[in-house]
């Protein structure tokens, strides 16, 4: 179906790749702020790179092989691509002291600002007006993603400048973003061809389960959920020293002083 709109492949894959590159840049910055020994710094960075890039390419390959295509199976499978990365991410975060320390040293502004990619959800509205996607999904998902994405850099800027009430603003933005994702996922499931379909019978939501658009629910959506959870977790932390990560990675020689994690 997507062959009639080939620009979607470029649109979605470029957006996903840009999100990965930006996160890797942020990961590198967080590790550098922790000032570990060069060898341990490289180990931490390449471990994070392997996890993120491996997830992206796994999502890309499974999507390209049409493993989630609703027209090929009666039982929906897209929930596996959506939920398993979130469960794995939360599990790794809870089990890995290194991952928690890197998240602590990461910039809160980055965790928020990177979600400007959510504004690319305007593609749902474009497809709706082109008669290629049902309104019950495209309108709430498209407008919600557009709002959350456009607000992301503004909230990040307010936080970076230390404006009064910025922490509460970040919390509210995160909750808005999670609510938008919940609505999009729910309407996506209920409007796609499956035994649980309840809407859009005359115009089922087939595109969202086909390559390349399926990369959004199986990669960009779980990535957004994990970023929201990481941002909310940081709001609950006291200011800690990024030196904690350095001490974790290299115990031979304590580093003098601490560097507060960036906001």
Question: Whole-angstrom Cα distance, residue 8 to residue 103?
Answer: 32
d(CA 255, CA 115): 34
Name the more confident of 247 and 141: 141
Judged on CB neighbours under 10 Å (0-12, 13-18, 19+), 201 is: exposed
Task: Write down the pLDDT at residue 54.
Answer: 95
* pLDDT for 258 beyond 70: no
Question: Predicted confidence band at 175 (pLDDT cuts at 50, 70, 90)?
Answer: very high
Average pLDDT over residues 2-10: 71
Given CA atoms 185, 208, 217, 156 in this order, what sign does their dihedral have?
A: negative
* Terminal Cα-to-Cα distance of the chain (whole angstroms): 44
Of residues 223 and 46, more confidence is placed in 223
pLDDT reported for residue 108: 92
Report CA dihedral (44, 49, 55, 56) to the nearest 10 degrees: 160
DSSP assignment of 133-198: S-HHHHHHHHHHHHHHHHHHHHHHHHHHTT-TTHHHHHHHHHHHHHHHHHHHHHHHHHHSSSTT--
Band (pLDDT 50/70/90 cuts) for residue 235 is confident
Confidence class of residue 38 from pLDDT cuts 50, 70 and 90? confident
Mean pLDDT confidence for 15-34: 86
Whether 36 has a pLDDT exceeding 50, the answer reads: yes
pLDDT at 259 over 70: no
Q: What is the reported pLDDT for 186?
A: 96
The answer on pLDDT for 244 being more than 70 is no
Q: How far does CA 192 lie from the centroid of its chain?
A: 22
Is the pLDDT assigned to residue 164 strictly greater than 60?
yes
pLDDT at residue number 236: 81
Q: Are 210 and 146 in contact (CB under 8 A)?
A: no
Please give the Cα distance from 18 to 210 (Å, whole number).
21
Please give the C-alpha separations between residue 25 and each of 40, 55, 150, 203, 245, in angstroms, as whole numbers: 17, 17, 21, 41, 17
């Amino acid at each position: 179906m997507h062959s009639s709109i080939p620009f979607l492949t470029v649109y979605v894959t470029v957006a996903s790749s840009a999100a990965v590159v930006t996160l890797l840049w942020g990961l590198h910055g967080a590790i550098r702020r922790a000032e570990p020994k060069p060898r341990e710094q490289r180990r931490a960075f390449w471990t994070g790179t392997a996890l993120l890039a491996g997830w992206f390419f796994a999502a890309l390959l499974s999507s390209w092989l049409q493993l989630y295509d609703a027209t090929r199976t009666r039982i929906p499978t897209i929930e596996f691509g959506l939920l398993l990365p979130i469960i794995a991410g939360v599990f790794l975060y809870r089990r890995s002291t290194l991952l928690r320390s890197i998240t602590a040293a990461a910039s809160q502004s980055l965790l928020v600002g990177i979600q400007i990619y959510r504004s690319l959800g305007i593609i749902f509205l474009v497809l709706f007006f082109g008669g290629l996607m049902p309104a019950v999904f495209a309108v709430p998902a498209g407008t919600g993603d557009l709002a959350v994405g456009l607000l992301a850099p503004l909230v990040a800027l307010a936080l970076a400048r230390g404006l009064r009430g910025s922490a509460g603003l970040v919390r509210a933005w995160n909750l808005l973003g999670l609510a938008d994702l919940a609505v999009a996922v729910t309407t996506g499931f209920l409007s796609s061809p499956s035994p649980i379909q309840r809407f859009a019978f005359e115009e089922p939501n087939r595109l969202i389960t086909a390559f390349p658009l399926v990369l959004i629910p199986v990669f960009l959506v779980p990535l957004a959920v994990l970023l929201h959870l990481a941002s909310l977790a940081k709001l609950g932390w006291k200011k800690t020293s990024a030196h904690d990560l350095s001490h974790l990675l290299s115990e031979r020689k304590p580093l003098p002083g601490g560097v507060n994690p960036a906001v």
